[in-house]
Structure 1
């Protein structure tokens, strides 16, 4: 069946373009450029894309009754900062691990084609563990590694429910505090985080951080089917490849636009946007470690995209741990072309 879906997507267009043509279709408005496993992009209209997704979601519902969506959790703490311990929703598994409910917890979720060993996971968990005592739980969702992007999109809701189930288990059985729990997701993982927030019981997550939330096959006007600002007490989005692989319109309560949110300095010949898309994870890891991304407050996201937010820093820093208590709006973030990317303590 998956082969049929892949062929159906390919049949919708005669050419798989490597780069988005200038002045052509607007991704996210009248369709999407769907990423392919070989790095190319295929244009699919809104009607065609939604039909493909509807067919896959129906198939997903039937399959999930027989075969649950595979999701694995790996716990890292200050006692095991580099070698994860696989944990499951059993009292014995958690008791035998170094999970400590008195410490804040961070869930980290990768995007399409990646796994729990991805570099972004290593960098983000290292940054958090360097700050102090944390439970860092890396989520590995096998369906992200489907060669068919649309199939991975269809698995997002059930994957998010699985993450929520683990969160609810840790709250109910070990007293994990939702007010000290955050979920961080990149690309498709950002929407998985959104579904986790939608399905969390007995309260809301303290925060969700969406790292360039994926645009292809997601609609801004359907917030219940993507990460949105109501999925946690605070949702922050770091948008680095807007209008291509990621959303350009603001996703979070606090929406941050490094370099205007479309392309990132240092990403030369970034035809498919992959470099700019991935840069959001590097920015976030650095923000946790160094708190060095000052921003300018903008009137709206269009001012942020145009770098038309003045020259005065707002006092708000992208990725700051205190943002959940004070941030609401759209922000332009100046960044450098190489690490360290932030402009420091301005």
Structure 2
């Protein structure tokens, strides 16, 4: 009888043990699905998933590059790491270069690429090179995540080729990536190495299946001379913690005004692109410096604007830390005072 009582007591104790609280990005992730829903995957399960080989039908991860300049602002020229390809294009080594990288389910013709390309070409003569990476087009988010390192390496190799064979300046180079594309940009910076890529801009870098404590497997402040992160949907599709040398928490970095309920974060996540394009064009996003990222999240940084603005050229040489960015609920979004 005593044995039965002891066993019952043990059973009750086991049942009473609390189930570990799910914290997105800490002990697992809510991973986006094709239908817009999310599926919880804990860290251990994710490690197995990411290490397993991809199905044959989604193993292709071709990366292609499309050049836009003021001479061809709307029709991209595909260029390859070949002398005749680059020499027969509008690429000009005397102009600054911008690589632009889309995220999950994206293509080089998507509106984000159009908006950012248009913004930079409105500022002057630039080589805007839009990246298209095949693995991102998988309907399975995890498959796209597996393709990030290889895609980033190939972007890095193209950067090295243009620098070594066509005198592209690394000192004026910016690599801009949205969501998963931000981590592709990080791997490109790692490939080039030595912080030789001047600037990487992460537009709401993707959170699902990326860990803050493994900077070697995501965009990191060490991937370029200067890394700027613009965070708009933290805790859902984007990172909460800072991963750039300078991190801008727009409207607190989690949910954007004018996006309605936005449970899946689709609107808030995409706003990072609209904010960046507007910032490049109009230099209109004032910021308030914060003590740390927690005060930025809580909008407890005061009301005094700093002299720092999103996407300014001078940021790379002098800006570091955490910034709260107030915005309007519709375009024009930027507020300067």
Determine if the TM-score, normalized by the shorter chain, exceeds 0.5: yes
Residues 181 and 270 from structure 1, CA distance in 2 versus in 1: closer, same or farther, beyond 3 angstroms? Answer: same
1:281 aligns with 2:281: no
Match of 1:46 in 2: 43
Residue 235, structure 1, aligned to residue 224, structure 2 = no
Paired with 1:69 and 1:144, the residues of 2 have a C-alpha distance of 8
What residue is the counterpart of 2:135 in the other structure?
A: 143
How far apart, in 1, do the equivalents of 2:267 and 2:47 lie?
Answer: 27
* Structure 2 counterpart of 1:157, from 149, 153, 159: 149
Aligned partners of 2:205, 2:38: CA distance in 1, in Å? 17
What's the CA shift string for 1:64-99, capped at 9, x where partnerless? xxx762001000001000110000110000000000
Whole-Å Cα distance in 2 between the matches of residues 102 and 86 of structure 1? Answer: 20
The alignment status of 1:209 with 2:198, answered yes or no, reads no
Q: Cα gap change, 1:197/1:79 in structure 2, threshold over 3 Å: closer, same or farther?
A: same
Moved more, 96-105 or 199-208: 199-208
How far did 1:201 drift? 5.3
How do 1:148-297 and structure 2 match up within 5 A?
Answer: 148-200=140-192, 204-297=196-289
Q: Does 1:97 align with 2:94?
A: no
> Mapping of 1:265-344 within 5 angstroms?
265-344=257-336
Q: 2:33 aligns with which of 21, 30, 36?
A: 36
Root-mean-square deviation (CA), in Å? Answer: 1.5
Determine helix, strand or coil for the equivalent of 2:171.
helix
Kept in 1, the 8 Å contact 2:175–2:201? The answer is: yes
CA distance in 2, matches of 1:337, 1:69: 38
Larger mean CA deviation between 194-203 and 95-104 belongs to 194-203
Judged with a 3 Å threshold, the aligned counterparts in structure 2 of structure 1 residues 101 and 262 are, in CA distance, closer, same or farther, namely: same
Following superposition, which runs of at least 4 residues in structure 1 exceed 2 angstroms of deviation?
none
Contact 1:288 / 1:321 at 8 angstroms: preserved in 2?
A: no
**Cα distance, 1:142 vs. partner?**
1.1
**TM-score w.r.t. length of structure 2:** 0.91
Is residue 69 of structure 2 the alignment partner of residue 72 of structure 1? Answer: no
Quote the Cα distance in structure 2 between the aligned partners of 1:27 and 1:308: 23
Q: Distance in 2 between the 1:24 and 1:275 partners?
A: 27
Distance 1:220 1:144 in 2: 22
Greater Rg by CA: 2
For 2:259 and 2:111, the matched residues in 1 are separated by 18
**Alignment partners' CA distance in 2, 1:202 and 1:318:** 25
| Structure-2 change in CA distance of 1:320 and 1:203 (3 Å) | closer
Give the equivalent residue in structure 2 for 1:129.
121
Count of residues paired in the alignment = 316
Do 1:160 and 1:195's aligned partners in 2 also have CA atoms closer than 8 Å?
yes
Contact 2:195 2:225 in 1 (8 A): no
Structure 1 residue 319: Cα displacement: 1.7
Q: Distance in 1 between matches of 2:32 and 2:313?
A: 33
Matched, 1:111 2:103: yes
* SS, match of residue 81 in structure 1: strand
TM-score relative to the length of structure 1: 0.89
SS at match of 1:196: helix
